[in-house]
Structure 1
Amino acid sequence: MIRILRNRRFAALFASQVSSLVATGLLTVAIALVAVDLDAAQASAVIATALTIRIAVYVVVSPIATALLAGRSSRAVLIAADAIRMLVAVALVTVTTPWQLFVGIALLQLASAVFTPSYQAVIPRVLPEERDYTAAQSLSRLAYDLESLVSPPLAAVLVLVVPTTALFAVTGAGFVLSAVAVVAAGSLGLVGASGERFRRRLSVGVRTLARTPGPRFAAVLDGATATVYATVLVLTVVLVGDAAPGDPATPLAAALVAFGLGSIALALSLGALLRRVSDAAVMRGGAMLAAATLAATAAMAASETLTLSAIVVVWLGLGVASSAISTPSARFIRREVPADAHAAVFAARFSTSHAWYALTYPVAGGVAALASPAAALVTLAVIAAACFLAATFPMEVMGRRD
């Protein structure tokens, strides 16, 4: 997997991704800390609003932006997105009210909604061989998981020596490094085709996603991934609080580390695994594991037998499940979608996957608050199982072995 970094252009793009991920991770921590500083009593409402803005921008903006930018230089688009994120992050150093924070988050996520699918679309051009592309996807997943493990302690160290708002300046520096790395990558082609009318360009991603078997299959299973992340991000703190009364910081960290390690383990073994079984089989297995694990966790929570050690083991399994569904999925787009439609389809998938989050996050939080965490887990398990069944029986997928 590491050998792929010998490709100079991909190495530069990967450096851009890592810089961007670390910056985004620090930004997430900074937003939570600043929310507490601004209004401790309403911090949870501020954070929830920020998360809602993030999801809404991703769902709405990504396809529109890709359609508007069709025919533009991919490298210029990526650099411009990083520049906007840098400027907004630095401006947030002076934030004094929640509404300023919300406006900044909206602008940051708007730029990210442009950057992420544009970045995803250029990788198949840089790495045309499927084996290399698979290695790149595994490496990308590894970067995501390591960032989730590294960013919180890094932020904790930084706030010991700088004010909380100064984290935004550090975040801005990360986006500068990302832009510099994109410059080093050289020419990256154009963002899709520009010969069609805007209205057609706006819908081409969703239409292609809906009618192409592999990407459609992946979009359905994104629902199972969303149930996993809703559990991890929304319910973990509640479940560890019930399992280990007292300060939740240490048990919460243990659960999140277990989730990250499970995801990393699958990502590291994916190349060898996909030489033996199909992409579709791996992804279906991940969805089935997600549904079964959520159901088992619900049963333990309902019977009050869910211990901290059980949570750590279960979260390890959820990490494996999420990585099994997500990591191979981009190969379908690369394999089945024409190159000039990559940007539009990646943008459409970026939008539809976050639409799943817009469903599962409030379901997890709302059902847990109105009924119980166990009831929320049952509901999420049902959604994951429905996605697994929908992607198993009626769909034909080009899930060939490599």
Structure 2
Amino acid sequence: MLQVLSHRIYRHLFLAQVTALVGTGLTTIALALLADSLAAGQAGIVLGTALTIKMVAYVGIAPVAGAYASRLPRRVLLVGLDLLRASVVCALPFVTEVWQIYVLIFLLNAASASFTPIFQATIPDILEDEEQYTRALSLSRLAYDLENLLSPIAAAALLTVMSFDVLFLLNGLAFLGSAGLIISMALPTPHASDEAPGVWSRVSHGVKVYLKTPRLRGLLALNMAVSAAGAMQIVNTVVYVRSTLGLGGQAVAIAFAAAGGGSMMVALLLPKVLERARERPVMLFGGALMTLSLFLGLLAPGFVGLLGLWLLLGAGASMVMTPTGRLLKQSCQPEDRPALFAAQFSLSHGCWLLAYPLSGWFGAHVGLIETFALLGTIALVSTALSARFWPSRDSIHLEHDHSPGAHTHLHYHDEHHQHEHEGWEGSEPHRHPHHHPGGRHRHAFVIDRHHSQWPK
């Protein structure tokens, strides 16, 4: 997996990602302490509201950013967003009212909702080899899991020698470090795209491509399974360990580490697995593992049993999330990658926006065992729907018909554009009226200007 770091541009991008992740992990801890200092008796409400604002920003901003990402140089855009995030986190130590937290959290996560999909869509342009790209996805998953494990430990150590306000400033420095790493390299120029007319058409384009692609409809159902399982683990671990089992904070940390350990184990093994297996069986097996882990919660496990459940849950979630980039890359034209990655970012966080409050409210008002049953049922139905939406024979190359027609748009000379020119059209990509004779042919099929519907 580490061989992919020999690629200089990707190595700098990966280090930028890790630097920003570490800083964000510190801010997560510092934000909880800030909420407690401003609203001592209502810190949970403040954090819950901030988390909801975060998800709303993710769902609403990502498609807009994806629609316009191809119109700006990637390096300038990513560096600008890093600088905005650094400015926002450095302002957090100076807030005096709760509403100021909400405003800054929205700005911070609006910038992240713009940064992350563009960053993710850049990597397949750098690592065009499928095997290298798969390793990069696993390495990225591993970085997220390590951050979840190590950031709380680092924050605890730092808080012994400094106040929590300093953690925000360290995150600001981390974002500046990320910006510096991005400045140090030349990123590929975005693929030329023919902008859809109208603001709404541009914003909705990635979502339309996503929902018209069967394998991605299956992915969306699996996103719901991941959210149901993840919400149970993130929201209710502390309640189950402390209230049901009567254990302390150290046991809570170990339980969280079990889920991270399962995810890390899969991230390490998956590149070899995906050399021999297609994504569909691996990802559906991940959905089944998460479903099993939730239903085993009906047995009211002890602490050791809970660690086993969370290990299975983390492994299943990683089986779904790690190959996601491969599916998105297979399912669009290069110029549509920012819009499609943004659609995945927005739709998957929409699932979390449903799962978080459902898990918290049901656990508090009905009971944890009943919550295991409810979220296990959601994961089961979601996995079954994924198997239904995602054809078992999901061929990349499909034979399909084209009706004859004429139109004008920006294009290269590919399998759909083999026509004569008069000499004024200019270099590719170029725009001029051209005719398509129609007929039947076979090639790697994606939803785009020439293919508005998936073939039957």
Band the TM-score falls in, shorter-chain normalisation: over 0.9
Equivalent-residue separation in structure 1 for 2:22 and 2:134 (angstroms)? 23
Indicate the SS of the match to 1:393.
Answer: helix
Change (3 A) 1:364 1:315: same
Match of 2:344 among 340, 344, 349: 349
SS for the counterpart of 1:165 is helix
Shift of 1:162: 1.6
Q: What is the CA-CA distance between 1:294 and the residue it aligns to? A: 0.2
Deviates more, 1:362-371 or 1:192-201: 192-201
Structure with higher strand content: 2
Q: Confirm or deny that 1:116 pairs with 2:111.
A: no
Aligned match of 1:388: 383
Report the CA distance between 1:191 and its aligned residue: 7.7
Displacement after TM superposition at 1:68 (Å)? 3.4
Report the identity percentage. 36
CA deviations 1:36-82 (Å, max 9, x no partner) are 11111001001100100000100011101222343111111111110
| Code of the aligned partner of 1:382 | T
The match for 1:8 is 8
Spell out, residue by residue over 1:361-388, the C-alpha distance to the aligned partner (whole angstroms, 9 max, x if none): 1110111111101111111111101111
* Counterpart in the other structure of 2:26: 26
Structure of higher CA gyration radius:
2
Residues 217, 389 of structure 2: 8 Å contact kept: no
Instruction: Work out the CA distance in 2 between the residues paired with 1:54 and 1:320.
Output: 26
1:50 maps to amino acid: A
- Structure 2: distance between partners of 1:235 and 1:21: 24
Q: Does 1:63 align with 2:63?
A: yes
Counterpart secondary structure, 1:45: helix
The count of aligned residue pairs is 395
1:121–1:57 CA distance, 2 compared to 1 (3 A): same
Matches of 1:346 and 1:266 in 2, distance apart? Answer: 23
Contact 2:70 2:335 (C-alpha < 8 Å) held by counterparts: no
Normalised by the length of structure 1, the TM-score is 0.95
Q: TM-score, normalised by structure 2?
A: 0.84
Structure 1 runs (4+) deviating above 3 angstroms are 397-401
Structure with greater helix percent: 1
Quote the offset at 1:272 in angstroms. Answer: 1.0
1:377 to 2:367 alignment: no
1:199 CA displacement: 2.5
CA distance in 1, matches of 2:67, 2:271: 33
Which residue of structure 2 lines up, in the alignment, with residue 220 of structure 1? Answer: 221
Match of 1:153 in 2: 153
Identify which of structures 1 and 2 has the higher relative contact order when contacts are C-alpha pairs closer than 8 Å and 6+ apart: 1
Cα distance in 1 for residues equivalent to 2:77 and 2:184: 14
Return the alpha-carbon distance in structure 2 between the equivalents of residues 3 and 194 of structure 1.
36
For the residues of structure 1 that align with 2:269 and 2:340, how far apart are their CA atoms? 27
Q: Distance in 1 between matches of 2:393 and 2:58?
A: 28
Query: Which amino acid in structure 1 is aligned with residue 353 of structure 2?
Result: A
Residue 164 of structure 2: SS of its match in structure 1? Answer: coil
Point out where structure 2 has 5 or more consecutive residues left out of the alignment: 397-456
- Rounded Cα–Cα distance in structure 2 between residues aligned with 1:195 and 1:121: 18
Instruction: Give the 3 Å change call, closer, same or farther, for CA 218–320 of structure 1 in structure 2.
Output: same
CA contact 2:229–2:376 (8 Å) conserved in 1? no
1:167-196, Cα deviation, whole Å (9 max, x unpaired): 110010110111111112312322873532
**Structure 1 unaligned regions, length at least 5:** none
- What amino acid is the match of 1:188? P
Aligned partner letter, 2:27: L
**Amino acid corresponding to residue 277 of structure 1 in structure 2:** A
What aligned pairs does 1:258-277 form with structure 2 within 5 A after superposition? 258-277=258-277
Looking at structure 2, the residues matched to 398 and 89 of structure 1 have their Cα atoms a distance apart, in angstroms, of 47
1:20 CA displacement = 1.2
Alignment of 1:298-309 (within 5 A): 299-301=298-300, 306-309=301-304
Distance 1:399 1:236, change over 3 A: farther
| Counterpart AA for 1:66 | G
Paired AA for residue 48 in structure 1: G
Q: Distance in 2 between matches of 1:37 and 1:224?
A: 36
Q: Which residue of 1 aligns with 2:334?
A: 339
The equivalent residue for 1:37 is 37
